[in-house]
Chain A
Amino acid sequence: MRGSGLFDAEWYRLAHPYVVRDGIDPLTHFLLYGRDHRLSPGRAFDAERYLDQHEEARASGLNPLIHYLRHGRARRLEIHPAPPSGADRILASGLFDARWYLEHHADVAAAGYPPLLHYLVHGWKEGRSPGPDFDAEWYLKRYPDIVGADPLLHFIDHGLAEGRSPLRPERALSVAKATLASVEDLDPELYGADYLADPDRIEVVNGVPRHRAARAFEQIVGRIAHAPRTIVFLPWIIHGGADLVAGHAVRALAEAHGPQSVLVVLSDHDRQDAPHLLPAEVPVLSLSRIDPALSQDERVVLVDLLIRVLQPTAVLNVNSRACWEAVKRHGRRLSHFTRLHAMLFCPDYSPEGRRSGYSDLYLRPCLPFLTAIYSDNRTHLEELVRQFAIPADLRGRLVTLYQPAAEAAPPPRRDRQPGAPLRVLWAGRFAAQKNVDLLVRIAESAPQFEFHVWGRGDAAHEARIADLARRCRNVHVEGPFDRFEALPLATYDAFLYTSLWDGLPNVLLEAAAAGLPIVASHVGGIGELVNGDTGWLIAAFDEAAAYVDALQSIADDPKRARQATRAMTRRLQDHHNWRRYREVLAREPSESGGLLHGSANDNGGAERPSRGADRQTVP
C-alpha cells in the first residue's frame, strides 16, 4: 500500500487528526478502520465513492484500497480523487495563517507543535483563532447555534454560504451608529428602543450571494467564452441511445450555425464516457465538474439562471432532469427569454413497474411553455396525444424526428455454409427493459442456432446471462461493447431484439444499416421501422416460440432474408438520412420553425423586444 502511492500518511494525519491525538500509526489506523468508516487513504483515492460505485468491492469485504490494488486496478475500475479533507478546506480558505498562529499562541511555538496540526487537534477546541481574518471567539458568540464543531470549518462549509461573518463587522456597525444618531429623534420606531443595544445580534450582510449555486455560477460565467445561440442540456454523455440522439442534434446545430454557437451543458451526473458522440469543437460544460456536490435543486437554479442570463435563441433538453424541472417551475418566464425544445422517446418504468419517465412526469406541466417536442418515433407522440388529451392546436408542437442511420454501404456479408448454424446477434444492456428473460427462453428452446450475446448490465442480469451460457452450449457471452459498428457484424446472420418497451431504438437502425435481417418485438415505435417487408416483427412480443419461428425462416429462406434487408435499406434511405433529419429540424413545427430555424447570429436576447417592454417616461 505504501508503494502504490495512494496512501499518504501526512494527508491522512491532517484529514483525521484524532489519529495524532490518540498516537496511532496512520497506516495501522487505515488498515483497522478504513473499510468500516470508509476513510480515504490519500488525496488520489476516494474510498467512499469507490465502494459506492463498485458492488464487487463492497461485496469483497476488503479494505477498498486493498481491493483496488489486488483486483480493481487490473479490471480498470474507475477511481476518483478524495473530496478535500477538513485540513485541505482550511488551507484552501486562506483563513489559517501559520505564522500568525505561532506568534499569537506562544505555547504552541514553544512546544514545537506544527501549527495546523495543533489547530486541528487542540486549537479550535480551546477557542483559539486560526488567523487574523477569523475571530473564533466572536464567531461562536455571534452564532450560538454552533456547538461542538470547529468554528472555522463551520464557517468554510456553511457560514460563508449563509452570509455569516468571520469577523465582527466593526466598520459597518460604526457607520450604522453614526447614521442612526443623525435621525433617530425623528421616528418613534427609532427612538423608542436602542437599535444598537446588542450589536452582536444584528445581522450585517451585503448583496453578494455566497451560496453554492452562486459560486458555481461565477465559475461558469468565467468558463463560457461567449453567449451561445443554442444551449443543449443533457444529463451526462454516455454510451446510450438518448446520448446518440443528442449527438445528432448537436451536430446538426453545429453544421447549421457553427460549433461555437452551441453550448452543451451536462446537468445531472458526472459521467462523460462517450464524449466522441459530440462534435469535438462544441464547448461542453459539466455542472458536476464545476462542483460535484451541487444538489438537484441547485442544478435547477443554475439551468434557470443560465437561460436567463445567456438568453440563447433556442434551448434543447434531451433527458436532463434539471432542465425538465426548471421548465416545469419557471417555464412561463423562461419562454420570454428563449424558445424551449425537448426530446421524448418512450415511456419508462421504475423498478416497481410504475410509469415514471419524463413523458409522464413533465410533459403535461411543461407543454404550454415548449415550442417543440421531438420524438424519434411517431407512436410515442400519438400515445401522448391520447394520454393527455392534447388538443389539435398544441399537437403541431409534437414532431416526429426520425434519426439518421449510417449512410456508408454495409460490409459484404459472408454466406452461411450449408448446414452451418444460424449465428444470431443480441447486443444491448442486460436489464429488465431488454427482456433478458425472453432471450434466455429463446436460446433455451433453439439449440439449433448460435446466440452471440454482447453487453453488460446489473449484477443480477449478468449472473443470469452467465448461467445461461453455462447451461447452453449454443450461447456465447462476448462481453461489453462501446460501439455497435465495431462488433464483427459481418459474421452474424440475424439480429435479435427482445425489448419490453421502447421508442425506436438506435441499435435497430445500426443493425439495419449493417444489412442484418432483424427479428424484433412489436413494442413502442419499432413497427415504424421493422414490418413484414423489412424484417420480422413479433406481435406476441413475450413469446419465445414466435421469435424462434422467425429465426427459423431466416435460416431456411436466405432469399426472403435478402429481400427484407434490401427493403430495409430503402426504408433507411427514405426516412433515416441526414438530409431529411436536418430538414425536419429546421422546418418543424411549422408554426414556430424548428430547432435550427433562424440565423447563426441571432442571439440577441437582450436586444429582442421583450413582451411588456415600456420605456415611456412621461404620462
Chain B
Amino acid sequence: MLNAHREGLIAKPSLESLKRNVARAQDAGFDVEVLVILDRADRLTRDVVESQSEKDFRLIETTFGDPGKARNFAVETAQGTYVAFLDADDLWGETWLVSAARIAASRQDPVVWHPEVCVYFGAAKHVFCHIDMEDDTFRPAGLAIENYWTALSFSARDIYLQNPYPGTDLTSGFGFEDWAWNMETISRGVIHKIVPGTGHVIRRKTESVSTATVRVQGVTRPNAYIRQFLGTAAKAFPR
C-alpha cells in the first residue's frame, strides 16, 4: 500500500522502488496487489502517480487527511494475506518485500516485521537501526520514552485489521499514531521483529507531521503499554 498525499515529483522514486520490489517478489512466486491511496492528494501528486503506475495498480482517492486512517482504509480494502506500507516520499530497498514475505511465512504467531535499518537522507542524514523484540538488547520500558519502529511495517492483514491505527489529536496534545500503535500492539501480544539484511530509505523533510507533533509537545494518547512490564525488574531489562 502506497500512501500518497502531496509528494509531487518525489513520488516517482518511491513508485519506482515499489515496482522493483514487486518484480522481485513476483519472480519469487508471490502474488502482489498494489493499492495507492491518494489521501487528499494534490493534482501534481495524482498526475505523477497515475502516469507512473502499472495497469494493475488500484488507485483510490480518500479524504481522511490522516495517514493512520488512510492505512486502516487500505487494510480493509486489501485482499492479500499480508500488507506492507510505503509512504510516497520514501523508498524500499529492493529486497524488502520478498525477504519480509518469506520470513513472515515462517512464523505462525502474531509478528509485525520491520527492516533492519532505515537510511535517512535529505534534511537529515543518519542510519536508524530497528530493534528486534526477541533480541537481548530490547528494553521494553524505553518504548514509553522513544519510538523504536517506523510505520512502514509488514504483517498479516489480520493483525492490521485487529489493530487499526489510532487517530491523532494534536489539539489535545496527542500525536505519533505510529508510536502509539507500536505500544498498543505489544500490549495485545504482538511481537515486533526485524527482517535481517533489509532496509528502507527515508526522506527527511524540514517539516513533517512528527516535527509538528514535537513542537506542540505532543505525546501518545493513554494506553496500557507499560503495565505488563511493572515489577519485572531484572528479567525484562537485559543490559
With A221-B226, A610-B221 already in contact, the answer to whether A332 and B131 are too (CB < 8 A) is: no
From B94, B137, B171, B203, A182 is in contact (CB under 8 Å) with B94
Tell me the bound Cα distance from A612 to B218 in angstroms.
14
Chain A residues in 8 Å Cβ range of B232: 221-222
Residues on B with C-beta less than 8 A from A202 are 125-127
Flag if B172 contacts A336 (CB, 8 Å): yes
Question: Which residue from chain A places its CB closest to the CB of B119 in the assembled complex?
Answer: A176
CB distance from A302 to the nearest CB of B (A): 10
Binary contact readout B202-237 vs A (1 if CB under 8 angstroms, 0 otherwise): 010000000000000111011111110111111011
B47 within 8 A of A: no
Q: Is the CB of B198 within 8 A of A209?
A: no
Whether, in the assembled complex, B157 has its beta carbon less than 8 Å from a beta carbon of chain A, the answer is no
Choose one: A169, A179, A308, A337; the contact of B199 (CB below 8 Å).
A179
Complexed CA–CA distance, A230 and B14 (Å): 49
Contact of B91 with A183 in the complex, beta carbons under 8 Å: yes
Which stretch, A23-31, A130-138, A187-195, touches the partner chain B? A187-195
A225-241 contact mask (Cβ, 8 Å, vs B): 1 or 0:
11100000000000000
Q: Tell me if B82 is interfacial: C-beta within 8 Å of chain A.
A: no
Residue A608 interfacial (CB < 8 Å): yes
Q: Is the CB of A179 within 8 A of B146?
A: no
B189 within 8 A of A: no
A287 CB to closest chain B CB (Å) equals 15
Residues of chain B lying within 8 A (CB to CB) of residue A217: 141, 144-145
Contact A183 B201 (CB under 8 A): yes
Bound-complex Cα distance A567 to B109 (A)? 74
The answer to whether A179 and B117 touch across the interface, beta carbons within 8 angstroms, is yes
**In the bound complex, how far is the Cα of B231 from the Cα of A429, in angstroms?**
40
* Neighbouring A residues of B197 by C-beta, 8 Å: 175, 178
Which chain A residues numbered 321 to 361 have a C-beta less than 8 Å away from chain B?
A: 329-330, 332-333, 336-337
What distance in Å separates the Cβ of B136 from its nearest Cβ neighbour in chain A? Answer: 12
Answer whether residue A4 sits at the interface, using C-beta atoms and an 8 A cutoff. Answer: no
Are B148's CB and A207's CB within 8 A? Answer: yes
The verdict on A617 contacting B69 (CB below 8 Å), with A208-B148, A217-B141 known, is yes
Is the pair A190, B201 in contact by a Cβ cutoff of 8 Å? yes
Q: For the complex, would chain B's binding face be called helix, strand, loop or mixed by DSSP majority?
A: mixed
Please tell me which one of the listed residues A172, A208, A222, A613 contacts residue B146 in the complex, with CB atoms under 8 A apart. Answer: A208
Known pairs A186-B16, A605-B222, A612-B169; A178 contacts B199 (CB<8 A): yes
Q: Once the chains are docked, how many angstroms separate the CA of A170 from the CA of B200? A: 18
The interface residues of chain B lying within 8 Å CB-to-CB of A172 are 116-117, 127, 129
Give chain A interface residues in 294-312, CB to chain B under 8 Å. Answer: 305, 308-311
CB of B79 within 8 Å of the partner chain: no
- Name the contact of A183 in the complex, choosing from B76, B94, B142 (C-beta under 8 A): B94
Partner of B128, one of A189, A207, A309: A207
8 Å CB interface, B163-199 against A: 164, 166-167, 169, 171-174, 197-199
User: Residue among B137, B172, B236 with the most chain A CB within 10 A?
Assistant: B172
Decide: B222 and A173 in contact? CB cutoff 8 A: no
Contact in complex: B173, A607 (CB < 8 Å): no
| Complex interface: chain B residues within 8 A of A618 (CB) | 73, 76
- Across the interface, which residues of A come within 8 angstroms of B219, CB to CB? 308, 333
CB-CB contacts below 8 Å: A209-224 with B: 209, 213-214, 217-219, 221-224
B167/A207 in contact, CB under 8 A: no
Q: Does A180 contact B (CB under 8 A)?
A: yes
Given A172-B129, A305-B144, check contact A612 B174 (CB 8 Å): yes
B130 at the interface (CB under 8 A from A): yes
Q: Which of B144, B171, B223 contacts A606 (CB 8 A)?
A: B223
CB contacts under 8 Å to A, within B110-139, are 115-117, 119, 121-122, 125-131, 137, 139
Q: Which residue of A lies closest to B200 (CB)?
A: A179
Q: Does B53 contact A (CB under 8 A)?
A: no
Whether A180 pairs with B142 at a CB distance below 8 angstroms is: no
Residues of A within 8 A of B199 (CB): 175-176, 178-180
Q: Which residues of A contact B237 (CB under 8 A)?
A: 218, 222
**Chain B contacts for A189, CB-based, 8 A:** 121-122, 203
A387 within 8 A of B: no
B95, CB-defined interface residue at 8 Å: yes
The reply to whether B20 and A619 contact each other, CB–CB distance below 8 Å, is no
A117 to B30, CA, bound (A): 60
Is A611 in the interface zone, CB < 8 Å from B? yes
Q: How large is the interface on B (under 10, 10 to 19, 20 to 34, 35 or more residues)?
A: 35 or more
Expressed in whole angstroms, the Cα–Cα distance for A202 and B130 within the complex equals: 16
Q: What residue of chain A has the Cβ atom nearest to residue B116's Cβ?
A: A175
Nearest CB of chain B from residue A469's CB, rounded to whole Å: 53
Instruction: Answer whether residue A386 sits at the interface, using C-beta atoms and an 8 A cutoff.
Output: no
Assess whether B63 is interfacial by the CB under 8 Å rule: yes
Q: Which residue of B lies closest to A222 (CB)?
A: B233
Distance (whole angstroms) from the CB of A124 to the closest CB of chain B: 23
Whether a CB of chain A sits under 8 angstroms from the CB of B64 is yes
B153 CB–A CB distance under 8 Å: no
Residue of A nearest to B233 (CB): A222
Q: Is the CB of B201 within 8 A of A179?
A: yes
B58-72 interface mask toward A, CB cutoff 8 Å, 1 = contact, 0 = none?
A: 000011100001001
Give the distance in Å from the alpha carbon of A525 to the alpha carbon of B146 in the complex. Answer: 47
Q: A614: which B residues are within 8 A, CB to CB?
A: 166-167, 169
Whether A617 pairs with B73 at a CB distance below 8 angstroms is: yes
Q: Closest approach, in angstroms, between the C-beta of A571 and any C-beta of chain B?
A: 45
A204 within 8 A of B: yes
The interface bits of chain B over 1-39 (1 if a CB of A lies within 8 angstroms of the residue's CB, else 0) are 000000000101100110010000000000000000000
Task: Tell me if B127 and A226 are in contact (CB < 8 A).
Answer: no
B-side contacts of A336, CB under 8 Å: 172-174, 221-222
Query: What is the chain A residue whose CB lies nearest that of B172?
Result: A612
Least CB distance from B124 to A in Å reads 9
**Which chain A residue shows the least CB distance to B239?**
A94
**Which A residues touch B81, using CB under 8 A?**
none
Closest residue of chain A to B115 (Cβ to Cβ) is A179
Instruction: Decide yes or no whether A490 CB sits under 8 A from chain B.
Output: no
A202 CA to B129 CA, complexed, in Å: 13
Say yes or no: B119 contacts A309, CB within 8 Å.
Answer: no
From B95, B121, B218, B226, residue with most partner A Cβ within 10 Å? B226
List chain B residues, Cβ under 8 A from A311.
Answer: 222
Interchain CB contact under 8 A, A207 and B200 = no
Contact residues in B for A617 (Cβ distance below 8 Å): 69, 72-73, 76, 164
B125 touches A195 (CB 8 A): yes
Bound CA span A183–B145, Å: 33
CB 8 Å contact bits of A49-62 with B (1 = contact, 0 = none): 00000000000000
Tell me the nearest residue of chain A to B169, going by C-beta: A612
In the complex, residue of chain A having the shortest beta-carbon distance to the beta carbon of B128: A205
Answer whether A221 and B229 are a contact pair too, CB < 8 Å, given A175-B199, A337-B222.
yes
Q: Any chain A CB within 8 A of the CB of B154?
A: no
**A188 closest partner in B (C-beta):** B13
B122 surroundings in chain A (CB, below 8 A): 189
Is A206 in the interface zone, CB < 8 Å from B? yes
Q: Does A599 contact B (CB under 8 A)?
A: no
Given contacts A190-B201, A221-B229, are A209 and B146 in contact (CB under 8 A)? yes
With contact pairs A173-B127, A206-B129, A207-B142 given, residues A186 and B13 touching in the complex (Cβ less than 8 Å): yes
- Contacts A179-B115, A180-B119 supplied; 7 other A-B pairs, CB < 8 Å: A180-B93, A186-B13, A207-B143, A207-B148, A218-B237, A308-B144, A608-B222
Q: Which 10 A-B pairs have the closest CB atoms?
A: A179-B199, A222-B233, A182-B94, A612-B169, A179-B93, A606-B224, A207-B148, A333-B173, A617-B72, A203-B126
28 contacts between A and B (CB under 8 A): A173-B127, A175-B198, A176-B119, A178-B197, A180-B93, A180-B119, A183-B17, A186-B13, A203-B125, A204-B126, A204-B129, A207-B130, A217-B144, A217-B145, A218-B139, A222-B229, A222-B231, A222-B237, A225-B231, A305-B144, A309-B225, A333-B217, A336-B174, A336-B221, A611-B169, A612-B167, A615-B166, A615-B167
